[in-house]
Structure 1
Amino acid sequence: MKPLGASALVTGDGAAPAPDRGDPPPALEVSDHSLLARIGLKGRGAQGLLERRGITLPRSPNSWCVDAETLIVRLGPHEFLLEGPRVPGVDTAGIGPEDLVYPVVRQDTALALRGPGLGTVIAQTCAFNVRAPDPQDRPAFLTLMAEVPVLLIADLKSPVPCALVWTCRSYGAYLFETLMTLAASSGRRPVLRPPDHRDRFPQSSYLAHPQRETP
């Protein structure tokens, strides 16, 4: 299920250009993946449906995994978010009420964040201490950032701290501007990267796939 319309951050009016080679690295790099295909599934039959499609799932709620370039986040015992270039191939045709599976439209603003200033930005905006859990457990947090609801996965202990964050489209521009403003307060310019910039999240390469605007 491909998100509709244009990304809220396509213009990137508040973003600084990429630094020259002689400049220090930016405190925060942000890339907008709002147009990446995603779908939500919930209901008591959702796990069985996905397993029958051969998709590997996180074992416990509030965790994530990657299977064949698809990111799967388990939001609860019976609720899943799938995102990535192969999501349009997930067959949900023929689902009936008896299957107890309910597709959920996900029109999120989705941001990939990375850089040495990320830990400080998250500490200033996030209602939960994301440093406490072990990132090897692949935790996913339903929390608040800058007082708006978000889904967040992060690894602040890697050599280059990185995170993925999803929020409602109506909050997307506000959250983006807040993150960029806080990163700029460090004295090093934040950078908005194009969505096909080769971001990397631990054990995931799905962010490397470019997005295209819908004509």
Structure 2
Amino acid sequence: MNIDEKLAKEYFVLQGYGSLVFEPDGNCPPDFSISSRVGIEVRRLNKNHTKNGKRVGLEQESTPIVDCINSSLKSFGKVKGLSCYLGIISLKRPFPTIKKVKLAVKENVESFLKNPTSSVYTFDIGGSLIVKLAEASDDHEFTFEVGAITDFDLGGWVVPGVLENIRLCIAEKTEKIQPYLNNYSEWWLLLVDHIGYGRNGVEISNSTIRPKEWNKIIVIDPVSKSAYEI
């Protein structure tokens, strides 16, 4: 089970689907089934770039960095008497090491805590990561956590990139399940969004046609685990 399939499993379990089975028919669609009635396919939404002559998904480099920042922010727990803050991250390659990122987040948040402010608090890590701590409008489980991500290497406006790749993924998966359609009453597709991280859901949903083969198409943010349907 890869990382996206693990995320999908976690999502469906949290939604109350306890009868989830991984690869019920072996190494062929679907990736999961629910009560032998629903077949579920899982696919990553990503863009690629060339590194050392090879095509590499941009998120393969950014996800560990984002996860490191998020876990470092959350490590401060719930600070008594302080508002909650969301980390707005801007990324550009090459990235600093995980060790450097972790240390920088710790030092900067500790500095912020010495003199908290409702104004946006900004710090730079290695010239390629900018983190802005902005006061949240509501309460959260943790005082600090990642709220939004901008990857400048994605290029262009996020929505067209998501739309283009959603259409490609849907077409690819629709073709893949054709021989197995009659095995299940319903088919669901879950897309793990490593391009827009679940943003602009209404616009993307309104701009995407769901083929008749799919009863549900779900797009999930791998960081916040929030989701929307197409």
TM-score, with normalisation over the residues of structure 2?
0.26
User: Which structure: larger Rg?
Assistant: 2
**Larger helix proportion of the pair:** 2
TM-score, with normalisation over the residues of structure 1?
0.27
